Amino acid sequence: MPWIVGVSGASGTPYAAAVLRALLVGGESVDLVVSRASRLTLLDETGISFRDAHWQDDLREWLGRGADGKPGTFDVDIDAVRYWAAGDLAAGPSSGSYPAKGMIIVPASTACVAGVALGLSKDLLQRAASVTLKERRTLVVAVRETPLNGQTLRHLVTLDDLGAAVVPASPAFYAGATHIQDLVDFVAGRVLDAAGAAHGLYRRWEGELGGGSGSRDTGTRGTETRGTGTGDTGTRDT
C-alpha cells in the first residue's frame, strides 16, 4: 500500500522533496498530490514548473535538487510514484476503499490546515486528508508558518483531536548540522517518525551531551545514512 503525500502551498518545498526521497529509497510506494498553490511556491523556490502532462520529468528534476538549489545533487528513482492531479476528485485517494498506509502533508499551509480541520474537501489534497481521518489512518500534518494566530492554533488542536499528528517544520541543531540539507533532513525525518516510516535522515539523540558539536569538529555531517536515506550520490558540495 502506498503513502499518500500531499504538497500544499506553504514555503518549504525542500521538506517535501526530502520526505519523498526518503520514502522512495526506503522501498515505499507513493501517491503524490501537488496542490495548485504549491506549484507557485515550487516555481518560486526552485524555478521548476510542475506540469500535469510532464510530471515525471518535473518531479525527477525537483527531487534531484539539494536544499541549496543545486541540481543533480540526488539520483532518485521515481518508478514507485503515482501522481494524481489536485483537481481530480474521482482519483483513488478520494475514496476510503482505496488502500493506503496513511497520508503526509508536507509542507502544510494554514489554508490547508483550515480546510482539513473543517472538512472542506475543496481539492483532492483536502479530500484525501479527510478520507484518511475518517478511515482512522495515520495523518501527519507538517505545518509551516510563523507566527501562528489563534484561528490556526484552534484548527491544529482540532486536527490533533481527530487523531492527526501535527509536526511543526522546526529544525533542531543537536544533530550536528553543517549544511542546509541537514536542517531540512531533520524536519523530514521527524515527519517520517510521526508517520512510522523508517529512514536514516538525521543523527538521533543518544543521551550524550556534545554529540552534535563533535560531529562538526570531525567534519562529519551528523547523519549516518547519507546516501541510503536520501539517495545521495555523493556529489553534493559540503
Q: How confident is the model at residue 216 (pLDDT cuts 50, 70, 90)?
A: low
Q: What percent of the chain has pLDDT above 70?
A: 89
What integer pLDDT is reported at residue 211 of this predicted model? Answer: 73
Cα atoms found within 13 Å of the Cα of residue 106, Cβ hemisphere only: 34
Residue 237 has pLDDT above 80, yes or no: no
Please give the distance of CA 235 from its chain centroid, rounded to a whole number.
23
pTM comes to 0.90
Alpha helices in 26-109 (DSSP H): 36-46, 55-64
Mean pLDDT, range 52-69, rounded to an integer:
97
Q: How far apart are CA 91 and CA 196, in angstroms?
A: 25
